[in-house]
């Protein structure tokens, strides 16, 4: 009897994981949200309200990664080693390129020229030239002929590619590539101790590129860094603080430091948004954002956390991406609960 109950519980846990772990990525285009499921299928949602659109977008093989080009068209990399562009007008695919080996992402510069992120470097889609650097800003991390998988990547408005890595208690690493000259650049980290901070995301405002970083290892930590002309300054570093657990509480208590995950910028209100274990916050960059009191609490989603963080004691970050949709609207990608759509008032988990 006990054996039967154990098998049943395991089965139910497997079902629960499969129900929750619905998506591994999303992109937001002019009108739509494209969600990529764990089994490599696409689902389409209305950007304005988050409702599912009953339209099948099929591909001949499993889709591994999604992106968008500078014209806001959907781009995929699939298991047939093809990179394709989706032609919405006739529900078809245009082959852009063929790739080899492991691919981790696709980015496009301001001229809509594509680059592939691989473990062995950055590849130009058109001529298939590969660019690699074994320089490491983290003295604990050494590269020989490959980097491995970056945690996050970003093409900024000046066509520089930023790669962020996370190694748990061994911190992070940062690689910057100038696509105009095909050269790797060395940022000035200043007081930013990259050997302590696994990088979680990149974003930018009208003048600067930012990164967010965080770690749970015995205790929680988080930081947001601004780069002006590749020189780093700290915008916010989280510490344990005395505050209200949420905006409805009337009694203050000690709050853990923010375990900061992904962050982004909303130009409509000149604010940075970040996710942590305490919820989603935003802060106007015109304010002194070094103080947690100048950040506004927005919402705390009820999300699942997993244990067994790679290279560290504690939980891996359970939200990997956050994007602005419109003023006061954003979506995020969770580790186990799918895509969250916040319309400024209510949170809906997209199915």
Tens-place pLDDT, residues 222-239: 999 999 999 999 999 998
What DSSP designation does 56 have?
-
Q: State which H helix or E strand residue 36 sits in.
A: strand 32-37
- pTM equals 0.90
What is the distance between the alpha carbons of residues 218 and 314, in angstroms, rounded to a whole number? 7
What are the strands of the beta sheet with 219-228, ordered from one edge? 199-204, 209-217, 219-228, 231-237
Which pLDDT tens digit goes with each residue over 255-264? Answer: 678 999 999 9
Residue boundaries of the structural domains of the chain: 25-132, 134-351
Apex CA 262: angle with CA 169 and CA 270, to 5°? 135
**Cβ–Cβ under 8 Å, residues 161 and 150:** no
**pLDDT tens across 76-106, in order?**
999 999 999 999 999 999 999 999 889 999 9
CB 45 within 8 A of CB 57: no
User: How does pLDDT run across 197-208, given as a tens digit for each residue?
Assistant: 999 999 999 999
* DSSP β-bridge partners for residue 272: 265, 283
Whether the domain at 25-132 and the domain at 134-351 fall into the same CATH topology: no
Q: pLDDT (tens digit, 9 = 90+) per residue, 270-325?
A: 999 999 999 999 999 999 999 988 999 999 999 999 888 777 878 899 999 999 99
CB 327 within 8 A of CB 266: yes
pLDDT of residue 243: 63
**Cβ contacts of 102 within 8 Å, gap of 6 or more:** 118, 119, 149
Residue 108 scores a pLDDT above 60: yes
Q: Is residue 15 predicted with pLDDT exceeding 50?
A: no
Q: What are 124-136's pLDDT values in tens digits?
A: 999 999 999 999 9
Query: What CATH architecture is 25-132?
Result: 7 Propeller (2.130)
**C-alpha Rg value of the chain to the nearest Å:** 20
pLDDT of residue 276: 96
**What DSSP character marks residue 316?**
P
* 142-238-247 Cα angle (round to 5): 140
- Average pLDDT score, the chain: 90
Q: Topology of domain 134-351, per CATH?
A: Neuraminidase (2.120.10)
Rounded Cα–Cα distance for residues 226 and 98 (Å): 36
Give the percent of the chain with pLDDT over 70.
Answer: 89
């Amino acid at each position: 009897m006990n054996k039967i109950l154990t098998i049943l519980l395991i089965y139910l846990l497997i079902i629960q994981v499969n129900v929750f772990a619905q998506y591994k990525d999303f992109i937001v285009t002019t009108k739509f949200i494209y969600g990529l499921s764990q089994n490599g299928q696409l689902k389409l949602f209305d950007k304005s309200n988050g409702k599912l659109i009953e339209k099948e977008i099929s591909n001949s093989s499993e889709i591994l990664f999604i992106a968008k080009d500078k014209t806001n068209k959907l781009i995929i990399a699939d298991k047939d080693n093809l990179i394709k562009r989706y032609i919405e007008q006739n529900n078809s695919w245009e082959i852009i390129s063929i790739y080899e080996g492991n691919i981790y992402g696709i980015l496009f510069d301001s001229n809509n020229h594509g680059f592939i992120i691989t473990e062995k470097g950055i590849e130009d889609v058109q001529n298939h030239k590969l660019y690699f650097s074994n320089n490491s800003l983290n003295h604990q991390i050494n590269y020989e002929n490959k980097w491995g998988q970056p945690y996050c990547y970003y093409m900024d408005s000046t066509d520089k590619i930023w790669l962020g890595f996370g190694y748990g208690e061994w911190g992070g690493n940062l690689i910057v590539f100038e696509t105009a000259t095909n050269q790797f650049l060395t940022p000035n980290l200043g007081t930013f101790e990259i050997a302590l901070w696994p990088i979680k995301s990149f974003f930018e405002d009208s003048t600067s590129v930012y990164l967010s970083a965080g770690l749970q290892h015995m205790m929680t930590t988080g930081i947001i860094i601004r780069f002006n002309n590749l020189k780093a300054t700290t915008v916010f570093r989280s510490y344990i603080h005395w505050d209200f657990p949420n905006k409805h509480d009337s009694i203050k208590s000690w709050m853990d430091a923010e375990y900061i995950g992904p962050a982004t910028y909303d130009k409509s209100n000149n604010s940075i948004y970040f996710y942590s274990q305490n919820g989603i916050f935003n802060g106007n960059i015109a304010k002194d954002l070094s103080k947690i009191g100048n950040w506004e609490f927005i919402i705390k989603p009820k999300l699942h956390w997993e244990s067994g963080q790679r290279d560290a004691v504690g939980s891996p970050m359970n939200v990997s991406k956050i994007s602005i949709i419109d003023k006061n609207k954003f979506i995020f990608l969770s580790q186990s609960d799918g895509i969250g759509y916040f319309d400024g008032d209510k949170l809906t988990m997209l199915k």
